[in-house]
Amino acid sequence: MSFEHSLDDGLSAYGWDAGLEQSFTSHRSAGLIPARVVGVDRGACDVITETGPLRARLSLPAPADPVESPCTGDWAALRPGPTPELVALLPRRGVIVRSTASRTSHGQALAANVDTAVVAVSLASPPNPSRIERLLALAWESGAQPVIVLTKADQAADPGQAVTAIAELAPGVETIATSAATGQGMDTLAAALTGTVVLLGPSGAGKSTLGNALLGTELLETGAVRAQDGKGRHTTVRRRLVPLPGGGVLIDTPGLRGVGLLDADEGLQQVFADIEEFAEQCRFGDCGHDSEPGCAVQAALASGDLSERRLDSYRKLQRENAWASSRSDARLRAQHDDRKKAITRSLRETYAFRDRQRRS
Ligand SMILES: Nc1nc2c(ncn2[C@@H]2O[C@H](COP(=O)(O)OP(=O)(O)OP(=O)(O)O)[C@@H](O)[C@H]2O)c(=O)[nH]1
Ligand SMILES: [Zn+2]
C-alpha cells in the first residue's frame, strides 16, 4: 500500500489517515480524489482537498433519507476538473442528527464523523441537569465520546463541588472545569480532545470562547465581539471545520447550537446507565418503576442512590425520544458495546466508593 497520499498532504490535518486511504483505494483507481465536506448549500458544497479548499457540485443520487445527504464532516470522493463534482460519500462512523420540527418525518444531519462532543455548561448560573443529559444522549447516539466542560470556573463559588455534582449525571464521561479568563483547565481539555470535535451547549455557555482558546485565535465569533457590533449583524462567516493546533479538527456549525433528540434510544441508555442497571434488578421484566413490588429503581430512590429529579428527567427524555423516533426512519446506529462496559465498570466503582464512605 502506498502512503504517498496519506501522511504529509494537506488532508491529514483534517483527519485523513491510513485507514481512510485504504477505504479509498477503488476511488483512487477511478481517478477520484478524497475531500472533507466543510459545508453544503444550494446543491453545492465547500470541501477541503489535499491541495486546498474547493467548491464542488453535488453529483450523487438523492438518498431516500435526507439524513444520508452530505453534511459537514463527511468524507467524500471528488471527480476533479474545471467543475469539481462530489460523486460519493465514504461510510460514516456516526452522525449528529437534529430532529426537525417540520411536517417531514426526517431529521437533519448536522455533523458527520465526530469523535468528541464537548458539552459546554456555564458555571456562572445554576446548571440545568436535564439539558446536560439531553446533550449527552445526543453525543452518545452519534457515536462520539462526550466530554463535559464546565466553563467560567472563575465565576463559580465552588468549582470543585460543581464538578462532583455534574459528574454524577454523567457516568463514563470526563468532566473538566475551565476558565477562559484564567486559562484553568485548558491543557486538560486540549488533552481530552481527540479527532473531530464539536462544541454543544446553549447560547452563552462559552462555546465560541472555548473554541477560540483551543484554536489559539479569534476565528470564532464570541458574545463579546458581537456586543461591540451595535448593529446586531451576525454576519461574521464562521469557519465551520478548522484544524486544531494540537491535532484534531473543530467543527462549528450554527445548527449544532440547540439540537433536540431524535432516535436516541441507545444514547439515552448510556446517559442513564445507572437507572438501566437498577431496572435490571427489578422483579418484573416490564416493571414501570412506580409501585410494583420488588422495584429496584424505587429502592434506589429510597436509599438515595438515585434522585427523583434524575428519574423524572429520564422519563421525560424517553417520552421526547419516543415521539421523535416515531416520526423518523430507522437509521444506522453506532455500536457502543465497549463503552457500555466501561460505564458499567465506572458505576460499580462509584457505588463501591459510596459504600465504603457510608461504612467509615
Ligand atoms: N468570566 C468568564 N466569562 C466567560 C468565560 N467564557 C466565556 N465567557 C463570556 O461568556 C459570554 C458568552 O460566551 P460565548 O463564547 O460567546 O458563548 P457561546 O456558547 O459561543 O454563545 P452562542 O454563540 O450564543 O452560542 C461572553 O461574553 C464571554 O466573554 C470564562 O471562562 N469566564
Ligand atoms: Zn422497577
ipTM of this complex prediction, to 2 decimal places: 0.93
Same-domain check for residues 142 and 250: yes
- Residue 200 and residue 138 in contact, taking contact as beta carbons nearer than 8 Å: yes
Mutate to test the pocket of ligand 1, among 154, 186, 209, 238 (most ligand atoms within 8 A of CB): 209
Q: Distances from the Cα of 250 to the Cαs of 48, 69, 185, 211, 239, in angstroms?
A: 14, 21, 18, 8, 9
> 62 is in which domain, residue-wise?
12-91
Same-domain check for residues 164 and 285: no
Look at ligand 1, atom 32, and give the residue with the nearest C-alpha: 152
Residue where the block lists cell 438515595: 304
The reply to whether ligand 1 has any atom less than 6 angstroms from the CB of 257 is yes
Same-domain check for residues 139 and 219: yes
Which of 239, 256, 273 is the last residue before a domain boundary?
A: 256
Same-domain check for residues 248 and 117: yes
Same-domain check for residues 213 and 132: yes
Residue 140 domain flag: yes
Interval between CA 357 and ligand 1 midpoint (Å): 38
Same-domain check for residues 194 and 327: no
Burial (Cβ within 10 Å: 0-12, 13-18, ≥19) of residue 85: middle
Same-domain check for residues 153 and 207: yes
Q: Distances from the Cα of 327 to the Cαs of 69, 109, 221, 334, in angstroms?
A: 19, 15, 35, 20
CA distance 89 to 342: 32
List, as ranges, residues with CB under 5 A of the ion ligand 2: 282, 287, 289, 295, 297
Residue 96 domain flag: no
Which of 205, 235, 256 is the last residue before a domain boundary?
A: 256
Question: Tens of pLDDT along the chain (360 residues)?
Answer: 333 343 445 899 999 999 999 999 999 999 999 999 999 987 899 999 998 899 999 999 888 888 899 999 999 999 999 999 999 999 999 998 876 655 455 677 889 999 999 999 999 888 888 888 888 888 888 889 999 999 999 998 888 888 888 888 888 899 999 998 899 999 999 999 999 999 998 888 888 889 888 888 665 555 444 433 334 434 333 468 888 988 899 998 766 766 666 667 777 888 888 998 999 999 988 898 988 899 999 999 999 999 999 999 888 888 877 766 655 433 333 334 455 566 666 666 666 766 776 666
CA distance 345 to 339: 10
Number of domains in the chain: 3
Same-domain check for residues 161 and 240: yes
Cell of 169: 449525571
Which of 222, 256, 290 is the last residue before a domain boundary?
A: 256
- Residue 112 and residue 95 in contact, taking contact as beta carbons nearer than 8 Å: yes
